[in-house]
Amino acid sequence: MKILHIITGLGPGGAESMLKRLILSDPSTLSDKIVVSLTALEVIGKELCAQGVEVHAMEMSSVLGFPGKFFQLCKLIKQSKPDIIQTWMYHADLLGGLAARLSGFKNIIWGIRIQSVPTNNPKTALVVKISALLSRWIPKKILCVAESAREEHIKYGYDAERMVVVHNGFDFSHFTVSQAQKSVLREECGFSSEDFVVGWLGRFHSEKGQENFIKAAKIVSVKYPKTKFLLIGRRCNAENATLMGWLTDVGLQDQFVLLGERRDAPVCLAIMDLFCMPSSNEGFPNALGEAMASGLPCVATEVGDAAVLASDTVIMVPPENEQALAEGMLKIMALSREQRLQMGEHSKAWVMSEFSIDTSRQRFEAVYLAMLADC
């Protein structure tokens, strides 16, 4: 069964990481998988290439060059002759779906990866509106990362009949971290053995809630002034004037460590004592699942299907509420070390039993096989 995946880009992100995990979860089928990035190859594209996956970067970055690049995409689809074309994220759904249809292919699956439609981005909002109208014609199935995402997009006009929820899965083999790795990174961050570290891993974006996290950190630091806070992710660094301005406003520059974008998430998580997810919009939050798999006690905002992922193992709080977020952190910090470890182990056991990448792959494959059986 040959699958052609079309995705908007291959930089570090939730959808991109899930695509990588899905493809690499069964090494015996790598030759039957083709990945197309509408933009650049980027870091995940290079990682897939290194594993022997066929990856193409269309470089659709110029308006003037777009017609030629779109024609190349159609040509690539025809030459590849896939059994199924699966697209990931809004722009890939629309452009990849149109290219597939114009190339004579009908076994098309769209992918919705976030909970709420980003109406604050006019260009993306327009793409979503057009996609909602075309959802009854282009895809045979629309795979949603979360039940909340399915419900929100039905309200926006997507065809409910074609929508199926398939949650993300995690590759737990990468979550073993040595004491030496932890010691090196803690030293790099300037953390002592006595420091209590609260961290969040996510690219800098209004929906990822870094501002809310900083406001909550200010409340926490009043009671625990020696707490250290760690931010990891694209543009979470000292060169980000907006981020530095928020830290200056609350006077926490010396308590925050900003590591920026990194490729060693398990090690970063391993040096934390508490994981805090402050997002205002998620579908199925990868970072929270990874923190749970690392055995961390967690507090998270109740967005997307975070509560489904967390079950009763994580403290859930309302989004965009720094007081509630701070209270969640303080509740965990008030526990004994043994109680925090027990909470983290409970989370780890739950996520490993319910959300493995093998389970997720089987659910994707069930959709593929059902679609081919209907042809």
We find that the CATH architecture of domain 3-169+357-373 is: 3-Layer(aba) Sandwich (3.40)
- Residues in contact with 172: Cβ distance below 8 Å, sequence separation at least 6, in sequence order: 293, 352, 356
All structural domains of the chain with their residue ranges: 3-169+357-373, 172-354
Beta bridge partners of 142: 110, 163
Count H helices and E strands in the chain, helices first.
15, 13
Neighbours of 245 (CB within 10 A): 10
Fold of 172-354: Rossmann fold (3.40.50)
pLDDT average, residue stretch 35-64: 95
Query: Got the DSSP string for 285-330?
Result: -HHHHHHHHTT--EEEE--TTHHHHHTTSSEEE-TT-HHHHHHHHH
In this predicted model, what pLDDT tens digit does every residue of 321-355 receive, in sequence order? 999 999 999 999 999 999 999 999 999 999 999 99
pLDDT, averaged across the chain: 95
- Over residues 2-9, the mean pLDDT reads 97
pLDDT at 118: 80
- How far apart are alpha carbons 269 and 74 in whole angstroms? 42
Output the CA–CA distances (angstroms, integers) from residue 352 to 200, 343, 355, in the order listed. Answer: 21, 14, 6
Pair 224, 256: CB distance under 8 Å: no
Q: Give CA–CA dist 338/354, Å, rounded.
A: 25
- Are the folds of 3-169+357-373 and 172-354 the same? yes
How many alpha carbons lie under 13 Å from residue 46 in its C-beta half-sphere?
6
Chain-centroid distance, C-alpha 181? 24
**Res. 164: pLDDT tops 90:** yes
Interval 100-148: pLDDT, tens: 999 999 999 999 998 888 878 899 999 999 999 999 999 999 999 999 9
Residues 119 and 86: beta-carbon distance below 8 Å = no
pLDDT for the residue numbered 14: 87
What pTM was computed for the model? 0.86
Output the DSSP codes for 84-100.
EEEEESHHHHHHHHHHH
Paired with 257 in beta bridges are 230
Q: What pLDDT was estimated at residue 308?
A: 94
| d(C-alpha 158, C-alpha 199), whole Å | 36
Handedness of CA 85, 19, 54, 365 (dihedral sign): negative
Buried-state track 304-321, b at ≥16 Cβ within 10 A, e below 16: bbbeebbeebbbbbebeb
Residue 24 pLDDT class (50, 70, 90 cuts): very high
Are the C-beta atoms of 247 and 253 separated by less than 8 Å? yes
Pull the structure tokens for residue 136. Answer: 């009854």
Q: How many whole angstroms separate alpha carbon 308 and alpha carbon 247?
A: 32
**Amino acid identity, position 291:** A
- The mean per-residue pLDDT over the stretch 177-202 comes to 95
Condensed to tens digits (0 to 9), the pLDDT of residues 223-268 reads: 999 899 999 999 999 999 999 999 999 999 999 999 999 989 999 9
Residue found under tokens 């015996």: 28
Q: Please, what sign has the CA dihedral across residues 209, 234, 96, 48? A: negative
Q: Which segments within the chain are labelled E, that is strand?
A: 3-7, 33-37, 54-57, 84-88, 108-112, 141-144, 163-165, 197-201, 228-232, 256-260, 274-277, 298-301, 315-317
Q: What is the mean pLDDT of residues 263-284?
A: 95
Structure tokens at 342: 């027990």
Name which of 53, 49, 104, 98 is nearest 79 in CA terms.
104
Q: Which residues in 25-149 belong to E strands, given as ranges?
A: 33-37, 54-57, 84-88, 108-112, 141-144
